[in-house]
Amino acid sequence: MKIAINGFGRIGRAILRQILTTPRGEGIEVLRINDIAPLEMCAYLFQYDSTFGPFPHPVEQEGAHLSVLGRRIAMSHEPDLAQVDLAEVDVVLDCTGIARTSDVAQRGLQAGARKVLISGPSPAAEVTVVYGANEDHLGEARIVSNASCTTNGLAPLVKLVDEIAGIDSAHMTTIHCYTNSQPMVDAPRGDFARSRAGALSMVPTTTSATHLIDEVLPHLQGRISGAAVRVPTASVSAVDLVAQLKQPMDEARFAEALKVGTTASEVLGWTEMPLVSSDLRARPESLILAAPELRMSGDRQVRIFGWYDNEWGFSARMLDVARLMAAT
């Protein structure tokens, strides 16, 4: 599979790290990286990462190429991706965060790539795909959204719970680390609470997973609500789901069914250990369920808690979906 990465930010760099250092990168050739930042800055930020630590191999610049682990990857710095030659590219991974309109989302196709995968929600996408929940809906779509990191954690879990006992209704709270959408010091944003310093306060806010879950799992439309609390940590977030079940279950029986389901899943994990968020950094699963946090109230209300590395796990799913796209 031949790919290009458009936007070499948090997700773009995590994707390249996984391609270069994990089995998920086998058979993937990165033909080009496009980012408006200078090559020197791109190389520096890839080499030294405050979240994942320094890259364990030399990262060098050779002309207009990034050179690492024997690979020479062409770098370009074109604000308009349509001006870059992508004729040999199977899938462009658009990690800019701005591919929300059709004119922007289609630029990878205009440059010659076969398909475009967007690293976030996008109304311009033909379909929104969450690996482990609805990848069978991919079809031959040329512009695809990989949804959000929270939706990638929530949707496979909701699908599994619905298969086990049915869901009448549910509410999800994501306890989410701060991101670049928040200021480091108080500064104006569209939302008053999100205008406050991200590393100093817990900030109640919204999550795109609330409407994306209806799109990904339409048979549950209207049954699942959601909210977010941004917290002062730099990586790893959590899903806290409370669901009203259709079928009565006791806690032991439900826990066993949930454990069996996660074991069979490609994207869900399970831990019996009393872990904290930093223990889950750089885990590739979409969501790792915490067995000690499982609770039932009566025989129909269940509380499920799970961890997800909102950068690393999401980047892993980008590569999984890209493989599916390249194969069709």
Tell me how far CA of residue 241 lies from CA of 27, 212, 259, 292, 299, in angstroms.
Answer: 37, 16, 16, 14, 16
Nearest CA among 204, 117, 207 for reference residue 154: 207
Q: Which residues pair with 6 in a beta bridge?
A: 34, 94
Residue-wise DSSP of 286-326: SEEEEGGG-EEETTTEEEEEEEE-TTHHHHHHHHHHHHHHH
- CA 270 to CA 141: how far, in whole Å? 32
Q: Are 310 and 149 in contact (CB under 8 A)?
A: yes
Q: Out of 42, 95, 149, 177, pick the active-site residue.
A: 149
Nearest CA among 118, 91, 115 for reference residue 19: 91
- Helices 149-165/209-216 angle, 10° precision: 50
Give SS3 for 130. coil
- 74 residue type, one letter: A
Q: Kindly state the tokens that stand for 186.
A: 């108080």
- CA 36 to CA 6: how far, in whole Å? 9
Q: Are 144 and 321 in contact (CB under 8 A)?
A: yes
- CA 132 to CA 321: how far, in whole Å? 10
Q: Are 263 and 255 in contact (CB under 8 A)?
A: no
Say whether 95 is catalytic. Answer: no
Residues designated catalytic: 149
